[in-house]
A and B are shown apart, each in its own frame.
Chain A
Amino acid sequence: MPYIPHTAADVRAMLGRIGVERIEDLFDEIPRALRVDALPGVPPALSEMEVSRLAAELAARDGRRLNFIGAGAYEHHIPAPVWQLVTRGEIYSAYTPYQAEASQGTLQIMYEYQSMIAALTGMDVSNASLYDGASALAEACLMAVRAHRRSRSARILMPVTVNPAWRRAARAITEGQGIVIDELPYDPARGITDPKALEGHAGTDLTALVVPQPNFFGQLEDADALTRWAHANGALVIGAVNPVALALIAPPGEWGEGGADIAVGDAQPFGVPLSSGGPYVGFMASRMEHVRQMPGRIAGRTVDADGRTGYTLTLQAREQHIRRGKATSNICTNQGLLMSAATIHLALLGPVGLERVADACLARTAELVSALTSIGAIRCAFAGPRFHEAVLLLDRPVAPLLEALASDGIVGGHDLSRDYPELGHALLVCATETRTAADIERYAVSLGRLLGRAAAA
């Protein structure tokens, strides 16, 4: 019996101790009519060897390709120690540190993670993770409504340059609480939020403005100006940021005069593989004054009965297991394993490593844009500084090209035609430090061939 250790003698002895004859008797409180005797739709058992063969065949069918998509999930080098350490049983098979004395490892990692996220974002406090970037943005909108002392509108301004999937998730998750999300258009020349779009909202009751940095197009918003405008108009600022970029660009804590109020994003770029979409790890940081409105677990440093330093879950009165219907969120289990991976990843990179990764992302993307736009029939959609993504405009539909590139072993980018039809045939591409000059050339040659043009060397 896979994973069940009972011998026939065990079962006899245990049933005897309970005082029943058969295991089936233990289900005698369940109405007979409800019980099923078989699960016809579930396939028969496989051995570990058989399932390994099957999984390997399915994985091989998908194969491996050279990736040029970002769009919210980024391929970075992951140091070998990261997953060797987090899959140690003491981390992998532990649960939420309810028994602090038996969970000091997890709790100290949470504290270190919180410290790193607070440092990166330039904020005072971080929680110990949320599910992913999209749900973290939704939680930030809910948190802003709770934290804002004067606003009655529960109205959030959301630039269209925020990741469309994140916007959808924010809407789906906040809808039940009557939150209104008003979208802000972008400047078609620069691909960043149009300051003119803000004017119509001046003087109205606003709860918060979301500022994506870099935005979904990879363009860098004028975060200082947006933050100043929001604060002058009584709105809180929620920064939705790429954490790698923060090694290089001003973090939310430095925006405008006093900094943003809440910062969220996805820490997937820190030690978490693309893994077909998850599990990733949402992060959230804020100013100290809002900490009691924050959702999720928070680890705090304290002392034990002998005065020794130790760590424990703190401010639990915010949480569902104490506060029930009045909790800041229903979140319970979060993304502990990935939070641990992110912490170890950042410890290994350090400030120099992370800055180099960010520099390399910026440089590689510039090379990619240059190589692809030199093919001809491709141009860059937006002017202005960007981080590690760019929107390219093509002369024909993107989807068939992406299929053809995939046959060539290249995942060429993300088709924007569904979410941004006004851009025409638009392709979002990304290059991180993992793409070499040879990779970029291979992409340019392949795309040039498909477009019937030679790539300029």
Chain B
Amino acid sequence: MKKPEPLIFELSQPGRGATAQHPPGVTAELPQRLRRRSRLPLPEVSELQAVRHYTRLSQMNFGIDTQFYPLGSCTMKYNPRICNSLALLPEFLGRHPLAPASTGQGFMSCLFELQEMLRQVTGMAAVSLTPMAGAQGEFAGVAMIRAYHRARGDTARNEIIVPDAAHGTNPATASMCGMKVREIASRPDGDVDLAALDAALSGATAGIMLTNPSTLGVFERNIVEIERRVHAAGGLLYYDGANLNAILGKVRPGDMGFDVIHMNLHKTFSTPHGGGGPGSGAVGVGPRLAPYMPVPVVSKDDGRYRWLDERDLPQSIGRLSGFMGNSGVLLRAWVYMRILGAEGMRRVAEYSTLNANYLLARLVEAGFDAAYPGRRASHEFIITLKRQARETGANAMDFAKRLLDHGYHAPTTYFPLLVPECLLIEPTETETREELDGFVEAMAAILREAAADAATLKGAPYTLPVRRLDDVRAARQLDVAWKPAAA
């Protein structure tokens, strides 16, 4: 274990500073009554101290660049470095978002082309790039569904149907839009229960939110029938793009009959996850919802690009950000898509699916249980450790923590909620067969260890900067900000 890294505040000495970063001192006039009274308790450290501190902190992280990171539903694939380099070109970086459109035609052409490419790969009628993360894309989608029904005077439609396997953002989004959530069960084979769907559909149905392939790691085989029934009941279909990686270039949500989708550009289109963002949750819409898209949207008239705003789209659900969304993320996605091209898109789905099915087959050979045996894995799959937990006492959390000691980031644990002791594993297309084999060996070793010495497993990890943390204490004795010692 490395020695603990103090807080930056604990390195501080009065009178020290990274003075090359300070502008010359000037005196500014400001009435005393408006001035800050308390001193500013920011750290006073040298530039080298800061660089060393944050370099050391970075070394306490797992990342895709250092470890296999099979975090299910998060699509932790290689983030090509060139996407970052080109998004950081000084002209793109230095441009103020409110500068005249005439000074941003190059930048806007990239965004327009991105809109068009995303429209093509999803089969939708139009795309708005402005939502700043998947959850904001979901918000935009449900807000559009709501606006559509209201514009038609269909004001009784205030329910959103969500399968029990859904990501937590789906029901949270429905609530945020003032909708009631109706959860429906999945069948033991992973598909939506059509009888439960029928029972949930009514004149109050605004829409259904679906991820396909679902978070259970399988393609919803009844999608055509679901689409028919929901539309017949007057509802609309929302596609959660969390798993778009699995079908990119093979199946398009628009062709499945979805009215609106959000895409996680930080998953499928490989923009970085950054330790928790920035994401980008571009939305695609069918013809019915096109008038309601969030603004701004890039348009091209007579070879000139301009932003469409509320004046151009008077029925828009409005604006969701201060400017035009996470532009720098959009540029990274544009670079990625241009390098992949049409054929590269299809290969994303093919090789991510190949890797997932291979890894599943090997883990089953190694003695693990697939949660949905007999089903084809999509780009991810679930194994359940229910049997191992019963036999050895070591549960999914213990396996996850022990994997960290083997140098692998843990898969998603305990999600989806309906599968007991589950690991949701998504290898992505950018991993080699050797890396997947190494992961299987680690899992097999942990399985043997669970049988022989479950107590060791329950104490893992042992080789990281810290061992298991006391989450209960963190919540009960809340310490979320450093405070200077009283003088």
Which of A113-121, A199-207, A227-235, A448-456 lines the interface with chain B?
Answer: A113-121
Is A359 engaged at the interface, CB distance under 8 Å to the other chain?
yes
B-chain residues with CB within 8 Å of residue A67 when the two chains form the complex? 94, 96, 99
Is A421 engaged at the interface, CB distance under 8 Å to the other chain?
no
* Mask: chain B, 356-389; 1 = CB below 8 Å from A; 0 = not: 0110011000000000000111000000000000
Is B485 engaged at the interface, CB distance under 8 Å to the other chain?
no
* Mask: chain B, 335-348; 1 = CB below 8 Å from A; 0 = not: 10111111111110
B97/A274 in contact, CB under 8 A: yes
CA distance A60 to B71 in the complex (A): 39
Is A446 engaged at the interface, CB distance under 8 Å to the other chain?
no
A69/B28 in contact, CB under 8 A: no
A62/B103 in contact, CB under 8 A: yes
A-B residue pairs, 9 tightest by C-beta:
A89-B65, A45-B341, A337-B274, A172-B318, A336-B276, A277-B97, A58-B106, A277-B323, A41-B120
Please give the distance in Å from B226's CB to the nearest CB on chain A.
Answer: 12
User: Knowing A90-B63, A126-B481, A403-B102 touch, does A304 contact B21 (C-beta < 8 A)?
Assistant: no
Q: Out of A119, A128, A163, which one reaches B276, CB within 8 Å?
A: A128
B-chain residues with CB within 8 Å of residue A325 when the two chains form the complex? 171-172, 174-175, 181
A278/B86 in contact, CB under 8 A: no
Please give the distance in Å from B121's CB to the nearest CB on chain A.
Answer: 6
* Mask: chain A, 56-83; 1 = CB below 8 Å from B; 0 = not: 1111111111010101110101010101
User: Knowing A10-B433, A42-B337, A406-B102 touch, does A279 contact B29 (C-beta < 8 A)?
Assistant: no
A-chain residues with CB within 8 Å of residue B252 when the two chains form the complex? 36
CA distance A55 to B93 in the complex (A): 13
B361/A17 in contact, CB under 8 A: yes
CA distance A357 to B471 in the complex (A): 39
Q: Out of B219, B361, B468, which one reaches A18, CB within 8 Å?
A: B361
CA distance A102 to B51 in the complex (A): 21
Is A87 engaged at the interface, CB distance under 8 Å to the other chain?
yes
B404/A274 in contact, CB under 8 A: no
Is A173 engaged at the interface, CB distance under 8 Å to the other chain?
yes
A85-100 interface (Cβ within 8 A of B): 85-100
B-chain residues with CB within 8 Å of residue A193 when the two chains form the complex? none
B-chain residues with CB within 8 Å of residue A48 when the two chains form the complex? 80, 82, 339
Q: Out of A3, A104, A360, which one reaches B80, CB within 8 Å?
A: A3
B22/A300 in contact, CB under 8 A: no
A-chain residues with CB within 8 Å of residue B287 when the two chains form the complex? none
With both beta carbons as reference points, the residue of chain B lying nearest to A45 in the complex is identified as B341
B255/A36 in contact, CB under 8 A: yes
Is A152 engaged at the interface, CB distance under 8 Å to the other chain?
no
B357/A18 in contact, CB under 8 A: yes
A100/B469 in contact, CB under 8 A: yes
B-chain residues with CB within 8 Å of residue A310 when the two chains form the complex? 465-466, 469
B-chain residues with CB within 8 Å of residue A100 when the two chains form the complex? 466, 469
Q: Which of B56, B84, B250, B322 has the most CB of A within 10 A?
A: B322
List 5 additional contacts besides A44-B341, A101-B468; criterion CB under 8 Å: A93-B65, A312-B471, A314-B478, A332-B135, A336-B277
User: Knowing A10-B433, A73-B97 touch, does A101 contact B469 (C-beta < 8 A)?
Assistant: yes
A45/B339 in contact, CB under 8 A: yes
CA distance A64 to B323 in the complex (A): 20
A-chain residues with CB within 8 Å of residue B228 when the two chains form the complex? none
> In the complex, which range does the number of interface residues on chain B fall in?
35 or more
Is A320 engaged at the interface, CB distance under 8 Å to the other chain?
yes
> In the complex, which range does the number of interface residues on chain A fall in?
35 or more
B251/A36 in contact, CB under 8 A: yes
CA distance A89 to B27 in the complex (A): 41
A132/B322 in contact, CB under 8 A: yes
Q: Out of B224, B320, B347, B349, which one reaches A173, CB within 8 Å?
A: B320
CA distance A17 to B360 in the complex (A): 10
Is B284 engaged at the interface, CB distance under 8 Å to the other chain?
no
B169-227 interface (Cβ within 8 A of A): 169, 171-179, 181, 218-219, 221, 223-224
Is B64 engaged at the interface, CB distance under 8 Å to the other chain?
yes
B-chain residues with CB within 8 Å of residue A274 when the two chains form the complex? 93-97
Please give the distance in Å from B236's CB to the nearest CB on chain A.
Answer: 16
B337/A349 in contact, CB under 8 A: no
CA distance A288 to B479 in the complex (A): 11
With both beta carbons as reference points, the residue of chain B lying nearest to A349 in the complex is identified as B21
CA distance A128 to B277 in the complex (A): 11
A101/B480 in contact, CB under 8 A: no
A96/B132 in contact, CB under 8 A: no
A-chain residues with CB within 8 Å of residue B106 when the two chains form the complex? 57-62
A335-364 interface (Cβ within 8 A of B): 335-340, 343-344, 346-360, 362-363
A278/B321 in contact, CB under 8 A: yes
